[in-house]
Chains A and B, each alone.
Chain A
């Protein structure tokens, strides 16, 4: 154990925790803003700290404070099961959180001949861990709904149970098809496999190699996260709030946040398994390391462009209409944020310039590439989360018998057939 390995392990753990927890307020805010923008509204954009509204993201923190201060209320009829009633949201939340921990954020670091995984939980059986821990989340839903002794909550719990039996099989079988293709249950190995190309030009991303399994996986993960079009367990238009009807204050918040952590985890799994994870298409880690100065130059051109677009967008949109007399500090905010962005860009440029053209330090280059991969991962993660959100505000909810029908009559045979074909092709290619 060298110092490097300890540092990398601690940093990956912190990174994993931050990526899972800090994205919750961002995702809640994104959900609300995107929903309103889709519906031609503005959404929460006013809460601020010292005039800084950051587009309204501060609202989520205000909401957390509100939920913390709310009255804890327990229905009087849950006498014996109170501890489980309290534990149920925690199960859902923790399961989603733990499942996130096996996602690799960057390629395995090779420092002084040591291979260090950039993974919060550096395990080689990541996919199995995800399937096992991720499936526990629904237990929290079922416990919570069942223990509420409430008709609606019980119906929600029953629906959650019916959901599990409809998607789990298809999920497992489509994941199996990927395991056969990538010849590994390790997420990191999967991403490395996907950084290659096939037929000379097409990036070997899972969605292009295994389109059917990819679609089944996405559908099944939508079901697993309890998001639209599979919100049958919550079913607010039919059964009040489903399993969480009786849960108040922080217990409700746990379910609520658990949903977003689960969505984040599902996005991470999807991009890791079928969208090339932390890799950009066509450039593998080795390419970036061997042509480091080219890579640094490309980044030095790209970063100012992105920042310029961002600042232009801010100056146009972080304003009020001409008819409104006061801008509520938005001009000031735009100015401060623009300066901060420019300073950050200059700093990054200086670092890249030094690393790319003056220092010949392989360790520093490796770390720079790893950080870049983390950034790519975060961008992809956010894009897929936005996709989740757009889908939610586009499609109506399935009835839960329709979900079962879909799972058993379409997804299951399709994934079985796909697995068979995959196996035949893989055996044919390798032998």
Chain B
């Protein structure tokens, strides 16, 4: 088809005017921009991938294939197969000491992503302020805006290992504050929160009557101490909407399996949205997720151990080439500072990609406090990591020679 450039321009313009301003005005994702840049280039080593480098364990894939052969292809109940909800309930109780009734406190969702969307939609009244510690995962703020909420960033700092502090939280609270979104272990910083770290946060939450959406999708990926669920902090159970999923812990990103747990009243509201928008999570994924929970723990532990080895490698590597990097305690990201180079995160990431053929995501893609940092995923092979570190070392030397 031949399209005159002028009419094309005109068309885009006029079509745009049909869009809801709330959606139209969402800024393009900083990750998307980088993706386009990286995807065109050759021989790139990428530290930009936000997902495990393991293929889903074979027993999980096989369970799904077998269920397909048996013809398990129908809708499940809206909240998900009861066997799976029971398994999730047991798993959360055993692993994180939180108790949810599989009958009315758990929904199986299309990834943790849907769970975050459901939670925000169920809670936001236009004008509500949603508190979001940053740098953070990219979806919280846009989904908040689409719902008519006002995202309020709370900056966290390298000097605190990117932990949220009660003072920083308190400083952003207004009479309109309603929801606090937590994500620990954190994408992109790898920060975690201990029981002692949580206590003062819980006090503020109580004092200002906040509801918490706790995105604990990286709960299994902690390296020096076990993950502490915010819902397990005394008094926080009913205030917390716990979001998690199978993507990261069980290497199941493409399956789109997540879940959300909360007070029955909140779950009932979320279930209304869920049933009218997606009906239920895909049954094949549910079968696979059940298999992962029943028989996947050994393999999961093996993967976590492997991430831990590579975490040590990348942190040591950054120190060796002269990049300051706090020790990430969870997830599979390192978040080194590139301030010493004098470049902005965007410039650094772009030049690193073009000149050294290493892709990583500039910290600015993750909101306030991300400037001066680079998110590097270490979910890639030891050989690739070693090569990437070599290339980065050479690139840093080159920058030094230039200045």
Asked if chains A and B come from one complex, the reply is: no
